[in-house]
Amino acid sequence: MQTSVVIAGFGGQGVLFAGLILAYAAMDKELYVTWYPSYGPEMRGGTASATVVLGDEEIGSPVVRHPDIVIAMNGPSFRKYEPLVKPGGMLFYNASLIADAGTRTDIRYVAVPANAIAAEIGDTRVANAVMVGALAAVTGILPLEALVETVERHMPPARRAMVFPNQEALRRGAQVVAGLGQPVAS
Amino acid sequence: MAKELLKGNIAIAEAALRAGVDAYFGYPITPQTELLEHMSRRMPELGRVFLQAESEIAAINMVYGAACTGAWAMTSSSGPGISLMQEGLSYIALSDVPAVVVDIMRGGPGLGNIQPSQADYNQLTRGGGHGDYRCIVLAPATVQEAIDLTVLAFDLADKYRAVAILAGDGLIGQMMEPAELPPMRQRSRTPPPWALTGARGRPPNSITAFSIAAETLEAMNWQLQAKLQRIREREVRYEAWLTEDAELLVVAFGSVGRIAKTAVREARAYGVRAGLIRPITLWPFPYAPIAQAAARVKAVLVVEMNAGQMVDDVRMAVCGQAPVHFHGRPGGSVPVPEEILERIMTLSKEG
For helices B143-160 and B214-234, give the axis angle rounded to 10 degrees.
140
Q: How confident is the model at residue B350 (pLDDT cuts 50, 70, 90)?
A: confident
Distance (Å, rounded) from C-alpha B12 to C-alpha B100? Answer: 12
Kindly state whether residues B226 and B267 are assigned to the same domain.
no
Q: How confident is the model at residue A184 (pLDDT cuts 50, 70, 90)?
A: very low
Kindly state whether residues B248 and B226 are assigned to the same domain.
no
The pLDDT, as a whole number, for residue A1 is: 86
Distance (Å, rounded) from C-alpha A186 to C-alpha B294? Answer: 37
Asked whether residue B103 is domain-assigned, the answer is: yes
Asked whether residue B13 is domain-assigned, the answer is: yes
Q: How many independent structural domains does chain B possess?
A: 2
What letter would DSSP give residue A95? T
The answer on pLDDT for B344 being more than 90 is yes
Determine the structural domain holding residue B122 and report its residue range.
Answer: 4-180+210-234
Which range has the worst mean pLDDT, A39-53, B11-25, B323-337?
A39-53
| Chain A interface includes B71 (CB < 8 A) | no
Contact (CB<8Å) B258/A65: no
Asked whether residue B205 is domain-assigned, the answer is: no
Neighbours of B149 (CB within 10 A): 23
| A179–chain B nearest CA distance, Å | 33
Here the CATH number for the domain that contains residue B153 is: 3.40.50.970
The answer on pLDDT for A183 being more than 70 is no
Kindly state whether residues B228 and B247 are assigned to the same domain.
no
The answer on pLDDT for B69 being more than 70 is yes
Q: What is the tens place of the pLDDT at every residue in B84-127?
A: 999 999 999 999 999 999 999 999 999 999 999 999 999 999 99
Q: What is the tens place of the pLDDT at every residue in B126-143?
A: 999 999 999 999 999 999
Best mutation target among A58, A63, A150, A154 (most B Cβ atoms within 10 Å) is A63
Kindly state whether residues B228 and B82 are assigned to the same domain.
yes
| pLDDT, average across residues B264-270 | 97
The pLDDT, as a whole number, for residue A95 is: 97
The pLDDT, as a whole number, for residue B22 is: 97
What letter would DSSP give residue A133? H
What's the CATH fold of domain A2-176? Pyruvate-ferredoxin Oxidoreductase; domain 3 (3.40.920)
| A94–chain B nearest CA distance, Å | 26
Partners of residue B1 in chain A, C-beta under 8 Å? none
Question: Using CB atoms, which residue from A60, A66, A154 is nearest to B262?
Answer: A60
The pLDDT, as a whole number, for residue B189 is: 74
Question: Using CB atoms, which residue from B177, B178, B259 is nearest to A61?
Answer: B259
Chain B residues 314-333 within an 8 A CB cutoff of chain A: 332
Asked whether residue B58 is domain-assigned, the answer is: yes
Q: Which percentage of chain B shows pLDDT scores above 70?
A: 99
Q: How confident is the model at residue A186 (pLDDT cuts 50, 70, 90)?
A: very low
The answer on pLDDT for B186 being more than 90 is no
Q: What is the tens place of the pLDDT at every residue in B3-17?
A: 999 999 999 999 999
Cis peptide before B109 (omega within 30 of 0): yes
Q: How confident is the model at residue A13 (pLDDT cuts 50, 70, 90)?
A: very high
| pLDDT, average across residues B167-195 | 94
The pLDDT, as a whole number, for residue A44 is: 61
Distance (Å, rounded) from C-alpha A172 to C-alpha A169? Answer: 5
Partners of residue B113 in chain A, C-beta under 8 Å? 40-41
Q: What is the tens place of the pLDDT at every residue in B38-50?
A: 999 999 999 999 9
Q: How confident is the model at residue A185 (pLDDT cuts 50, 70, 90)?
A: very low
Asked whether residue B18 is domain-assigned, the answer is: yes
The answer on pLDDT for A182 being more than 60 is no
Distance (Å, rounded) from C-alpha B307 to C-alpha B89? Answer: 25
Q: How far is CA B124 from CA B24, B121, B282, in A?
A: 20, 5, 9
Domain ranges of chain A: 2-176
Asked whether residue B204 is domain-assigned, the answer is: no
Q: Which percentage of chain A shows pLDDT scores above 70?
A: 94
Asked whether residue B192 is domain-assigned, the answer is: no
Secondary structure of residue B7 in the 3-state scheme:
strand
The pLDDT, as a whole number, for residue B223 is: 98
The answer on pLDDT for B299 being more than 80 is yes
Kindly state whether residues B256 and B217 are assigned to the same domain.
no
Secondary structure of residue A147 in the 3-state scheme:
helix
Environment class of residue B37 by beta-carbon count within 10 Å: exposed (0-12), middle (13-18) or buried (19+)?
A: middle
Contact (CB<8Å) B178/A65: no
The answer on pLDDT for B351 being more than 80 is no
Residue that wins the pLDDT comparison between A46 and B235: B235
The answer on pLDDT for A56 being more than 70 is yes
Q: Which H or E run contains B26?
A: strand B23-26
Q: How far is CA A118 from the centre of its chain?
A: 15
| Chain A interface includes B87 (CB < 8 A) | no
Best mutation target among B10, B143, B177, B255 (most A Cβ atoms within 10 Å) is B177
| pLDDT, average across residues B212-216 | 97
Question: Using CB atoms, which residue from A33, A40, A62 is nearest to B114?
Answer: A40
Asked whether residue B302 is domain-assigned, the answer is: yes
Residue B277 in contact with residue B238, Cβ under 8 Å? yes
